[in-house]
């Protein structure tokens, strides 16, 4: 079956760095997304990786290793507004988008 694994919850301190991991087992691969979802709100796009390596976008970076079925989202200089759930989603060989359950990130002062 197809599966995406993310930690359920993580806690970090304001100003620090946190890495949220995502591992996937899917039938093929055509890209990996990260979305941010604040409580009670809709998901919003953060990043898209289709090739191996690191994509940097301001305080957020996303890394992909297709051979390992692994990605991470790196958040630097954490702010209280970064408290949210972070959703990992993979497009498989049939171009179906498979979603992980999300990682709830709690930022403490």
Partner 1 sequence: NAGVTQTPKFRILKIGQSMTLQCTQDMNHNYMYWYRQDPGMGLKLIYYSVGAGITDKGEVPNGYNVSRSTTEDFPLRLELAAPSQTSVYFCASSYSVANTDTQYFGPGTRLTVL
Q: Find the Cα–Cα–Cα–Cα dihedral 20, 70, 29, 10, rounded to 10°.
A: -20
Q: Looking at the DSSP assignment, which residues form a beta bridge with residue 87?
A: 35
Nearer to partner 1, 22 or 78 (CB): 22
Query: Do residues 61 and 4 lie in contact, with contact meaning Cβ atoms separated by under 8 Å?
Result: no
Q: Which residues bind partner 1 (CB under 8 A)?
A: 4, 8, 30-31, 33, 41-45, 48, 50, 87, 89, 91, 95-102
- Shortest distance (Å) from residue 70 CB to partner 1: 18
> 78 vs 100, which CB is nearer to partner 1?
100
Kindly report the number of other CB atoms within 10 A of residue 80's CB atom. Answer: 9
CB of 75 to partner 1, least distance (A): 19
Q: How far is the CB of 9 from partner 1 (least distance, A)?
A: 10
Nearer to partner 1, 6 or 12 (CB): 6
Residue 53's DSSP bridge partners are 64
Show the tokens assigned to 33: 């997304």
């Amino acid at each position: 079956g197809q599966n995406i694994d993310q930690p359920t919850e993580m806690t970090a301190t304001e100003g620090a760095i946190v890495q949220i991991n995502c591992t996937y087992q899917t039938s093929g691969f055509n890209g990996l997304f990260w979305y941010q979802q604040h409580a009670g709100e809709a998901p919003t796009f953060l990043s898209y990786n289709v090739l191996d390596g690191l994509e940097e976008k301001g305080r957020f970076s996303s890394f992909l290793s297709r051979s390992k079925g692994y990605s991470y989202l790196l958040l630097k200089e954490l702010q209280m507004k970064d408290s949210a759930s972070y959703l990992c989603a993979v497009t498989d060989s049939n171009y179906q988008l498979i979603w992980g359950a999300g990682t709830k990130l709690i930022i403490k002062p």
